[in-house]
Chain A
Amino acid sequence: MRNLIQKNYFRYLLSGVVLLCIFSMGFTPIEKSPAGLNSPKDDAKPMPVYGHWKNFTTKDGLPSDHAYCVRIDGNRVLVGTHDGLAVYENGKWTTYTTKDGLVHNGVVSIDVSELTGDVWIGTLGGLSRWSGGKFENFTQFNSGMPNDLVYCVICDGKDVWTATAGGAGQYDTYTKQWEIFTEKNAPMHEPWTYGVSAGDGKIYIAAWGGGIIEYTNKTKKFKDYTDPDGEMEIDLLPDDGPVHDITTATSWANGMLWVSTYFGLSSYDGTHWKGYFDTDSGLASNFINFVRAKGPVVFICSDKGLSSTDGKSWVTYKKNENNSDGMTIIKNFGRNDDSTVVHTTKEIPSSPAIAHNFIIGVDADKEFIWVATEKGVSRGELLK
């Protein structure tokens, strides 16, 4: 027996080592594939790429370089800044402030009602409806609004939804009544809400520390989505749910819900969650201020540039630190025949680039993209 063992020593050792390797791999998480690689076939339209950037600052007529949000409204563009609402029309900027009737000069969110054309303006000190050239103002004291700091406002049919530090508010423009949703009547951990979006008959609220709160208009029922591991300091498993419970914005389009956090990006197709980090996708940064989905593409406002993706390809726009030029970075992920993951990166210089890398707001239509940054507003043209 002893001889037998000695003779086969090397074989036993080899077997043991192989088993040890297998076990050590088995007890560690499965390496996550880069984003969007579940579908082997890539028959989607190519990602839109924007260029020919034109930047606007106070020198061009903006009330402040610190822009919080941007909304395209037909032939005009509405920009929220720290010092007022700026409207770009026929090549000129016009500013509106409290002197014109705006509730507060710090404009952090804007949406336009498809039903009425009214502009709803969320500010640091209340909500304004801009209709027929007049501002109607809503505050905690003169209405049932949850809090004066309106981080996000959206229009959904006759309803106007706000995300505030004191809860989410739903304003029925027909009955002129507010309904407030907090931890007392919705599945929120706390009432702190920072983003809200609509789509598919549902409202998606980004709740600080509470993940995503989904409200179905028809049934008036809530459902929440939170990070399954329940821990702040880790993301236990990839693609098991939202990447973190501290959410900053939501946006729904084309059957996909996109959720931003300061820890990464998530998407949800109604069945599966997918997580994206700057280490495993083309995301410019995990610190994401805002997202806006347009069709199959989502635009991601991060602290290190503007990224966009359809879940497979990524386009990121960045500015150089020391001059006005920058780079458009295109990353495509795919699989070889042997299923190994590959990605290609193409960098296209842009001159000038976007105004600043700290992006807070974005909107796009068929021809242009508008970007709100910490140091000006940028407009890019869709490159053919």
Chain B
Amino acid sequence: MKLKYWLFLIVTLSILNSVSVLNGQDKKLNYGKAPDEIFPYDKFIKPYKYHFLIPITFTGAGRELKPPVNLKEVRIGFLGPLSGSLMVQQGEQMLQGATLAMEEANMNGGYRNLPFKLMTHNDVGLWGAAANEVVKMDDEKVWAFLGSIDDNVSHIALRAALKLEIFMVCTGDPDPTYTETNIPWTIRVITDDRQSIYSLINQIYQKDGHKRVAIIRTGARYGRVAFKFFSENATRVGHPIIIEERFSDGETDFKTQLERIKGTNPDAILVWGNAKESALILQQARSIGLNQPVYGSDRMVSPEFLKIAGKNSEGIVTTCQYNPESNNPKLKAFQISYLKRFGKEPDVFAAHAYDGMKLIIESIRKVGLNRVLIRDVLTDLKTFQGYPGVTGNIALDQSWNEIRDIYMAKVSKGKFEFTPAPPLDMKQKRGNSTGIY
């Protein structure tokens, strides 16, 4: 080709590149490890604005405040379901995990020989109550707090945390929208349903080759948000879900919903709910001849689910935010200490609460008693990035959400077996959102 053609081609390619840059976002990155194939609208149009690619900076005052004198203890708040909620069992595990971390810290000198003290608050589970509890924590002068599990509680607490400027470490709420509020007063150190659902989409449609999937899910926000997310992404990979059925938390008879599902003859069924309801659904599904493969939410990973579901649990596939059977020595030591201290095995909420409380304690030891400085060090994406917890190494994205790789959990011979979630078969043409996982 003649030189003038080469020159012409180079100039043309430069123009095309500048056109695409001018019309698009400054950074071509995917938020939340979303593959291009399932990034919203990505196949059709480039959004005008992407959020959560750059961390929000807290520009408020308070870094200059000196620590109070004559303190007798260093207070850290706890917000969780401790009574009057269906999640009490999980709340107790969370409290015990946090308590163990605090007791260990106190055995190691507390904070400059001052003991840490846990200020425990029940989130009750009613709308709005969490806000009042966070106000109480402000009155108690806690330096930071840990909570909660229910997404409705966590959202309410987070908004109050911003108003009162108390840092909130979330270790139990998997609602993807929790960190999508742009509030720079939280980190979440448990992977969210976004990661679980990407892995389930990959497993159900790409690996196992199903096409017609039915969903039965709780009517609570936990199920509503997850359903929206799963349904949208299933559609994006070409397989809209064929039926959605709902149930209420605490419900025990699911035959009506299951009969409707049976009528659609699905390839597979996805169950999204708490352990008990999920197990009962599984039992009743099998009893009416629904023998399709069943997938579920991570709340299935519990002794309660295995106990109620019995033999029906065989082959069930779900996800787990960590590998409780890992050979990580820290995890082993934690499991031994927990069993010794509380007389039971720790669950996912206990393990993550233990890590979350350790982070709060470490941050106070690093920067002292100043809420803004505690916030700064927990969100700087450096100090605790890669922090080796009992649940794995922490990897936060720019919205301070945990995005480390998760695990698939499959019931085999009556117990869950954990394997790393297979890499998504979908491409990330734009690259990773943060490059840190």
A263 & B182 in contact (Cβ 8 Å cutoff): yes
Stretch at the interface among B53-61, B299-307, B348-356: B53-61
By the criterion CB–CB under 8 Å, are A31 and B22 in contact? Answer: yes
- CB interface residues, B 150-199, toward A, < 8 Å: 152, 155-156, 159-160, 163-164, 176-177, 180-183
Residues of A within 8 A of B155 (CB): 190, 192, 208-209
Min CB distance A125 to B, Å, is 6
Shortest CB distance A376–B (Å): 9
Interface size on B, as a range, is 35 or more
CB distance from A80 to the nearest CB of B (A): 12
**Hey, which chain B residues are within 8 Å of A287, CB to CB?**
56, 182
Asked if A277 contacts B128 (CB within 8 A), the reply is: no
Cβ–Cβ < 8 Å partners of B163 in chain A: 68, 108, 124, 149, 151
Per the bound structure, the CA–CA distance linking A167 and B31 in Å amounts to 31
Q: How far is the CB of B155 from chain A (nearest CB, A)?
A: 6
Interchain CA distance A231-B232 in the complex, whole Å:
11
CB distance from B196 to the nearest CB of A (A): 17
Interface centre among A125, A233, A356, A375 (most CB of B within 10 A): A233
Q: Which of B40-48, B317-325, B382-390, B406-414 lies on the face that meets chain A?
A: B40-48
- With a cutoff of 8 Å between Cβ atoms, the chain B residues found around residue A356 in the complex are 60-61
A232 engages B62 (CB within 8 Å) = no
In-complex Cβ contact of A191 among B23, B128, B176 (8 A): B128
Check if A303 sits within 8 Å of B59, measured CB to CB. Answer: yes
**Contact mask for chain B residues 14-41; partner A; CB cutoff 8 A; 1 contact, 0 none:** 0110011011100000011000000011
List the A side residues contacting B128 at CB < 8 Å: 146-147, 149, 164-167, 191-192
A66 to B164 alpha-carbon distance, docked (Å): 10
Bound form: Cα–Cα A68–B132 in Å: 18
Residues of A within 8 A of B15 (CB): 21
Given A235-B48, A236-B47, does the pair A303, B60 have CB atoms closer than 8 Å?
A: yes
| B60 and A358 contact, CB distance less than 8 A | yes
CA distance A140 to B133 in the complex (A): 14
Question: Are B132 and A28 interface neighbours, CB within 8 A?
Answer: no
- Asked if A36 is an interface residue, CB under 8 A from chain B, the answer is no
Within 8 A of A (CB), among B80-119: none
In the bound complex, do residue B131 and residue A229 qualify as a contact, i.e. CB atoms below 8 Å apart?
Answer: no
The smallest C-beta distance from B35 to any residue of chain A, in angstroms, reads 14
Please state if A25 and B23 are interface contacts (CB–CB under 8 Å): yes
B197 CB to nearest chain A CB (Å):
14
User: Mask for A219-263, Cβ within 8 A of B = 1, else 0?
Assistant: 000000000010111111110000110100000000000000011
A34 partner residues in chain B, CB cutoff 8 A: none
Decide: B59 and A149 in contact? CB cutoff 8 A: no
With beta carbons under 8 angstroms apart, the residue of B8, B20, B177 that contacts A28 is B20
Most chain A CB within 10 A, of B12, B52, B128, B181, is at: B128
CB <8 Å contact, B56 and A165: no
Complex Cα distance, B57 from A208, in Å, reads 21
A14 to B159 alpha-carbon distance, docked (Å): 57
Closest B-chain residue to A68, C-beta based?
B163
Q: How far is the CA of A209 from the CA of B228 in the complex (A)?
A: 14
Q: Are A232 and B19 in contact (CB under 8 A)?
A: no
Is A304 on the interface with B (CB-CB < 8 A)?
A: yes
Min CB distance B64 to A, Å, is 9
Contacts A20-B16, A262-B181 given; does A234 touch B61 at CB 8 Å: no
Contacts of B156 in A (CB 8 A): 165, 192
Instruction: Establish whether residues B40 and A233, one from each chain, have CB atoms under 8 Å apart when the complex forms.
Output: yes
Residues of A within 8 A of B159 (CB): 151, 165, 192, 194, 208
Flag A345-384 by CB within 8 Å of B: 1 or 0 each.
Answer: 0000000000011100000000000000111000000000
Q: Which of A2-38 contact B (CB under 8 A)?
A: 9-10, 13-14, 17, 20-21, 24-25, 27-29, 31-32
A139-172 vs B, CB cutoff 8 Å, 1 = contact: the mask equals 0100000111101000000000000111100000
- Which residues of chain B have C-beta atoms less than 8 A from A17's C-beta? 12
Partner of A165, one of B45, B61, B131: B131
Separation in Å of the A264 CB from the closest CB of chain B?
8
What is the bound-complex CA distance between A264 and B50, given in angstroms?
12
Residue of B nearest to A125 (CB): B135
Does B66 make an interface contact (CB < 8 A)?
no
Q: Does A326 contact B (CB under 8 A)?
A: no
Complex CA gap A7/B24 in Å reads: 38
A208 CA / B182 CA spacing, docked (Å)? 12
Decide: A191 and B127 in contact? CB cutoff 8 A.
yes
A354 to B19, CA, bound (A): 41
List which B47-79 residues lie within 8 A (CB) of chain A. 47-52, 56-62
Question: Within 8 Å of chain A (Cβ to Cβ): is B255?
Answer: no
CB contacts (< 8 Å) of B344 on chain A: these are none
Given the interface pairs A25-B23, A149-B128, A165-B156, the reply to whether A358 lies near B61 with Cβ below 8 Å is yes
Q: How distant is A167 from chain B, measured CB to nearest CB, in Å? A: 7
- Most A CB contacts (10 A, CB to CB) among B49, B129, B181 go to B49
Q: Are A124 and B127 in contact (CB under 8 A)?
A: no
Interfacial chain A residues near B61, Cβ < 8 Å: 65-66, 356, 358, 373-375
Name the B residues within 8 Å of A304 (CB-CB). Answer: 59
A32 to B46, CA, bound (A): 13
Give the residues from 81 to 123 in chain A that come closer than 8 angstroms, CB to CB, to chain B: 104, 106, 108
B138 part of interface (Cβ distance < 8 Å): yes
Q: Does A320 sit at the interface, judged by CB under 8 A? A: no
Separation of A373 and B62 alpha carbons in the complex (Å) = 12
A235 to B51, CA, bound (A): 8
Whether B260 is near chain A, meaning CB under 8 Å from some CB there, is no
**Which residues in B have their C-beta under 8 angstroms from that of A243?**
49
> What residues of chain B lie closer than 8 Å to A232, measured between beta carbons?
51, 176-177, 180
The distance from the CB of B15 to the nearest CB of chain A, in whole angstroms, is 7
* CB closest residue in chain A, given B45: A29
In the complex, A182 has a CB within 8 A of chain B: yes
B residues neighboring A (CB under 8 Å): 5, 8, 12, 15-16, 19-20, 22-24, 31-32, 40-41, 45-52, 56-62, 127-132, 135, 138, 152, 155-156, 159-160, 163-164, 176-177, 180-183, 221
Q: A149-B135, A192-B156 are in contact. List 20 more A-B contacts (CB 8 A).
A: A9-B5, A17-B12, A24-B16, A24-B19, A24-B20, A29-B45, A104-B135, A106-B135, A124-B164, A148-B135, A149-B131, A149-B163, A164-B128, A165-B156, A194-B159, A234-B40, A235-B51, A287-B56, A287-B182, A374-B61
A interface vs B, CB < 8 Å? 9-10, 13-14, 17, 20-21, 24-25, 27-29, 31-32, 65-66, 68, 104, 106, 108, 124-125, 140, 146-149, 151, 164-167, 182, 190-192, 194, 208-209, 229, 231-238, 243-244, 246, 262-264, 277, 279, 287, 303-304, 356-358, 373-375
By Cβ-Cβ distance, the 6 closest A-B pairs, closest first, are A166-B128, A28-B23, A147-B128, A165-B131, A234-B47, A262-B182
A-B CB contact pairs (8 Å), 6 listed: A21-B15, A28-B19, A68-B163, A233-B40, A279-B49, A358-B61
